[in-house]
Amino acid sequence: MAAKRASEKAKSPRVFGQARRPTKMFRAGLYARVSTNDQQTVPLQIRALREYATRRGWTIALQVREVGSGAAQRRLREQLMDAARRREIDIILVWRLDRWGRSVADLLTTLQELEHLAVGFVSLTEALDLTTPAGRAMAGMLAVFAGFERDILRERVRAGLAHVRQNGKKLGRPISAGLHADQVRKLYRTGVSKAEIARRLRIGRTSVRRILG
C-alpha cells in the first residue's frame, strides 16, 4: 500500500506547492534577459526555464532572448506580449521580475494587461505564480509599490522645478523666435555675429539663421 502511494506521488510532482494540472496543455512563452556584459548567463536562464516548463507539463510555444543594459526599452519583450494578445500563448515564464519590468509601474502595467488577456505569469527565481491566489495577492502589493514609485517621481519633479525657480530661471516654452525678427536683422546689419545675436536674444542659432535666410 505504501509503495502504491509512493508511486502515485512520483507521477504527480508538485511545483511551488501547486499540483500539476493535466487537464489542459498550456502553451508557454519563455523570456530571458541579460545585461550587455553578462551574456554568458543566457543559456543558464533558458535551460532553467525549459526544465521548469517541462515539469509543469507545458508546451514551449515561443522563446525570447534579449540583451540590454539598465532600464532600456525591452523591445523583444513585445514579441511575447503580441503573442499573448493573439492568444497564441497561455502563460509567460521569466527568470526574474527585474528581467521583465523596467520599473514597478512598468511591471504592473504588463501584468494587468496579461490578467485582462487571461494569460498567466510565472517568475521562476521568486517562486511567483500569478495563476495562484498567493500570486494574485503579490500583484496587489505591486500595485501599491507602483503608486508609491509614481508619488516619489512626482515629488522629485516638483522639487526640481522649485529649485529652478529659486535660481531665477524661467520655466515654460521660450518666446517664439519670430518675435525677434526685427532685432535679429538690425543687429546683423551692425555686424554682430549670428552666434552673438542668439546669445543676446536668448534664442537658438538655427532660428537666427532661419530669420536671416
The CB-side HSE value for 85 (13 A sphere, CA atoms) comes to 8
- The predicted pLDDT at position 2 comes to 47
Please name every residue paired with 91 in a beta bridge, in sequence order, or none if there are none.
28, 120
Find the Cα–Cα–Cα–Cα dihedral 185, 186, 192, 195, rounded to 10°.
-40
Which grid coordinates belong to 15? 511545483
What is the CATH topology of the domain spanning 13-137? Rossmann fold (3.40.50)
Which grid coordinates belong to 128? 511567483
Q: Which amino acid is at 31?
A: Y
Segment 8-17, tens digit of pLDDT: 544 545 544 5
Secondary structure of residue 170 in the 3-state scheme: coil
Active site residue 35: yes
Statement: residue 114 has pLDDT above 70: yes
pTM of the model as a whole = 0.54
Annotated catalytic residue within 12, 35, 69, 176: 35
Residue pair 204/177 in contact (Cβ under 8 Å)? The answer is: yes
More confident residue, 121 or 4: 121
- The predicted pLDDT at position 24 comes to 64
